[in-house]
Amino acid sequence: MVSEAWQGAYVTHLRPLQTLINRAQILLHSIALLLLIFYRLSFFFLNQQPKHFFPWLLVFISELLLAFIWLLGRAFRWRPQITKHVLLPPDKLRPQLPLPAIDVFICTADPEKEPTLEVMNTLISAMTLDYPPDKLHIYFSDDAGSPVTLHGVREARRFSRWWVPFCRKYGITQPCPMAYFSHAPEDRRRDIPRDDEFVEQKLIKEKYEEFKNGIRDGTKKWAGDAAVSSRVDHPALVQIIKCNNDDSDDGEEKSRNEIELPLLVYVAREKKPSHPHHFKAGALNVLLRVSGAMSNSPYILVLDCDMYCNDSTSARQAMQFHLHPHFSNSLSFVQFPQKFYNATRNDIYDSQLRSFFTVEWSGMNNLQGPVLSGTCFYIKRFSLYGTSPHDKDSSKHIRDFEASNKFIKSMNENNRSRDIAVEEAQHLASCTYETGSKWGQKVGFFYDALVEDFLTGLALHSQGWRSVFSNPERPQFLGSGTTNLNQVLLQETRWSSGLLEVATSRFCPLFYGSQRSMMSLLQRMCYAQLSFFPLYYSFPIWILATIPHLCLLHGIPIFPKVSSPFFLVYCFIFISATFSHLHEVLISEGSVKKWLNEQRIWMIKGITARSYGSLDILMKKFGARNVSFVPTNKVTDDDQMQRYEMDVYDFQASILFLAPMAGLVVLNLVALAVGLGRIVASLENWEETFGQLFLCFYILLMSFPIIEAMVLRTDKACFPFKVTLGSSLVVLLFLYLLSV
């Protein structure tokens, strides 16, 4: 059952026009930034006694930090490129290669935050990939060790006996039943008449309903039982999920059992409160060992539990890259973008993380390749064993890193019976197994930061491995994005602290492995930009949202006056930054509204999540805190979802996130009013403080939804009055104290 997609090839498009625009902008913008720096420096050094030294210094530092992070970010834009899959005409088809085996890793952590039905849909979609079933093996990690999930996996396996053959028979390329039955955009590559499919579809739909009921029953049955304590304290359990012959009561059921399905293994690693478990990276490393002892496939697909396969051809597409002579042996992983079925076009919270998956990852494609992004990637197993592309044998590497040689032994004895393998696997999943070994430091997924994906990708690239970003028109994977402000900010806080953790560790991308590292300067700049931006987009934002305003209250000018030539420099920088962002949004299929929303959420994240993430790392450096990976909540509240879909901001969020927003809005309002008042009262020339007034105005304009939610809205998700009141009082008190 080899589909024609396999025989296609990929093409890469350089984007000459885009390159030209980007480089011209980089040049002009850099000149403007140099002039700005000159303007500030001349203030400090040419004035005999510079007045208002401190506010100027703070603003200058912020401007320098922003300029630096801007410069790093240009690396993504220096050689923009896109890689697409195309189906070549028959005369250009490449000879078919034997397909290598693939192990699929799926991680779940919490049946309450991650609805079992959706998780199982992800599992089923992976079993339905268009790939020979004997070459596909699914390893499902359940970090909670929950009976609800184990039951779900069994139900999913049972339903797959109906679903998989149905998809094969009719060439259905939508492997996820939930998406198929919700009539998500249909695939167009089918030549079978739809009539008989339609008849059978009814039967499958019935089976799907049965499956859903089964899941519901399981959730009910163990509802109270899923004790929180057992989630962090349970023994290892590795089980090959087969269909029970006992529960098949008719002949049809029996014959269904003979249908070839991929191997499915349920893995709950051992957990004890006394042992660190390293969150998702820990789970992935257990899967790496367990699968190594059982199927040991040369390629691995990693999926988050909420990212289902949306196109069954992705495995073959990824293999097109992996087996392509162009990469010889240096390709470590093929990264597909994370796309979200629930993100809207205007996307008020930028849930789709547009700039990563459009501009930045494709910009890295022409360097050493994109960042490893946690999910939706096909990786070469060999590259995860601390190797470099020139190495031949991985066992030598692992032997150096392992405390015991059990893993090597079981890898080498790959042909023995699966039941013995299961017994061994249980041992490989114990929480003491890694003690004294280099797992998580040199082998497997890395533990040093909460963004295990980013860090592991960085290590791979600096070992000389390459990666490829593939972004075909039809999304290969679709997940549920965070569409609730509180969750968005919580997630951003975790990422911020994780990324900064990398920036401040021995892995700091600016220096890491610089002697023998294979990373080019541009690649390094990309990694540095990503690991530093939480700090650079928080501290300076706070300064620029407060200092010019406080100065305005006292008539202290911070920016050049309107008649000064340097005023034009500031204007240019503002316009160039704004328009290049707008341009990027528009060419990645965004709208002007989307651009506005991105500007807005950028400000909100800067003064909240990124600031807290930075503080987190600061506190961790002083030993005051241990960061932890709290999975995002994937349970959606219909009300909340509706608001997101209608572009209505939902301020039912932690006060830690709301207070800074309210406080800054009040400060900006006061500053604007006083600043205008001083001009009306002719206390000063408007030319002097125009820049600050404009800044206030712009911030308030961007904060319009916040102001609206404070004073005009009365719904459940409006801005809580208590927070508005409290923040206003604090700001006014602070201003009063400052003035006396």
Ligand X SMILES: O=c1ccn([C@@H]2O[C@H](COP(=O)(O)OP(=O)(O)O[C@H]3O[C@H](CO)[C@@H](O)[C@H](O)[C@H]3O)[C@@H](O)[C@H]2O)c(=O)[nH]1
Q: Which residues pair with 268 in a beta bridge?
A: 237
Question: Torsions phi, psi of 303, nearest 5?
Answer: -130, 135
Looking at this protein, which amino acid is placed at residue 582? L
Q: Does 663 bind ligand X (CB under 6 A)?
A: no
Stretch that binds ligand X, among 35-43, 577-585, 624-632, 721-729 (CB under 6 A): 624-632
Q: Does 143 bind ligand X (CB under 6 A)?
A: yes
The CB density around residue 132, as the number of other CB atoms within 10 Å, is 16
DSSP β-ladder status, 136-142 and 331-335: unpaired
594 is in an annotated binding site: no
Give the start-end residues of each E strand in 313-370: 331-335
Stretch that binds ligand X, among 19-27, 277-285, 588-596, 661-669 (CB under 6 A): 277-285
CB of 80 or CB of 337, closer to ligand X = 337
- Pairwise CA distance, residues 158 & 165, whole Å: 12
Q: Is 103 helix (H, G, I), strand (E, B) or coil?
A: strand
- Pairwise CA distance, residues 350 & 597, whole Å: 7
Stretch that binds ligand X, among 91-99, 379-387, 490-498, 556-564 (CB under 6 A): 490-498
Site for ligand X in 103-142 (CB under 6 A): 107-109, 114, 141
CA 427 to chain centre: 32
For the chain, the C-alpha Rg in angstroms (whole number) is 28
Query: Under a CB-based contact definition with an 8 Å cutoff, are residues 280 and 257 in contact?
Result: no
Q: How far is the CB of 203 from ligand X (least distance, A)?
A: 32
Q: Does 370 bind ligand X (CB under 6 A)?
A: no
- DSSP secondary structure, 128-173, as one string: TSSS-GGGEEEEEEETT--HHHHHHHHHHHHHHHHHHHHHHHHT--
Using the rule CB under 6 A, which residue among 297, 491, 496, 689 binds ligand X?
A: 491
Stretch that binds ligand X, among 94-102, 185-193, 253-261, 450-458 (CB under 6 A): 450-458
Residue 84: which of 24, 146, 8 has the closest Cα? Answer: 8
Q: Does 525 bind ligand X (CB under 6 A)?
A: no
Query: Under a CB-based contact definition with an 8 Å cutoff, are residues 611 and 539 in contact?
Result: yes
Q: Does 498 bind ligand X (CB under 6 A)?
A: yes
Q: Which residues pair with 708 in a beta bridge?
A: none
- Pairwise CA distance, residues 68 & 62, whole Å: 10
Distances (CA, A) of 534 to 183, 238, 317: 39, 39, 34
Both tokens of 328, joined, read 């010889």
Q: Which residues pair with 727 in a beta bridge?
A: none
Q: Does 402 bind ligand X (CB under 6 A)?
A: no
Q: Could you say which of 306, 453, 616, 650 is catalytic?
A: 453
**Catalytic residue check, 647:** no
Q: Does 472 bind ligand X (CB under 6 A)?
A: no
Q: How far is the CB of 431 from ligand X (least distance, A)?
A: 13
Stretch that binds ligand X, among 42-50, 179-187, 412-420, 448-456 (CB under 6 A): 448-456
CB of 495 or CB of 690, closer to ligand X = 495
Query: Under a CB-based contact definition with an 8 Å cutoff, are residues 111 and 219 in contact?
Result: yes
- Pairwise CA distance, residues 471 & 183, whole Å: 23
CB of 344 or CB of 493, closer to ligand X = 493
Site for ligand X in 78-107 (CB under 6 A): 107
Burial class (CB in 10 A: 0-12, 13-18, 19+), 293: buried
CB of 375 or CB of 531, closer to ligand X = 375
Site for ligand X in 575-604 (CB under 6 A): none
Q: Could you say which of 143, 311, 616, 650 is catalytic?
A: 143
Q: How far is the CB of 457 from ligand X (least distance, A)?
A: 11
Q: Does 705 bind ligand X (CB under 6 A)?
A: no
Q: How far is the CB of 304 from ligand X (least distance, A)?
A: 4
304 is in an annotated binding site: yes
Using the rule CB under 6 A, which residue among 450, 460, 661, 671 binds ligand X?
A: 450
Q: Does 486 bind ligand X (CB under 6 A)?
A: no
Binding mask 297-316 for ligand X (x = CB under 6 A): -------xxx----------
Stretch that binds ligand X, among 168-176, 446-454, 647-655, 731-739 (CB under 6 A): 446-454
Residue 381: which of 445, 431, 307, 436 has the closest Cα? Answer: 445
CA 350 to chain centre: 12
Site residue total, ligand X (CB under 6 A)? 25
Q: Is 196 helix (H, G, I), strand (E, B) or coil?
A: helix
**Catalytic residue check, 639:** no
- Pairwise CA distance, residues 211 & 119, whole Å: 13
Using the rule CB under 6 A, which residue among 175, 337, 363, 631 binds ligand X?
A: 631
260 is in an annotated binding site: no
Residues that bind ligand X (CB under 6 A): 107-109, 114, 141, 143, 279-280, 283, 304-306, 374-375, 450-453, 491, 494-495, 498, 629, 631-632
Residues in binding site for UDP-alpha-D-glucose:
113-114, 143
Active site residues: 143, 453
Residues in binding site:
113-114, 143, 280, 304
Residues in binding site for Mn(2+):
280, 304
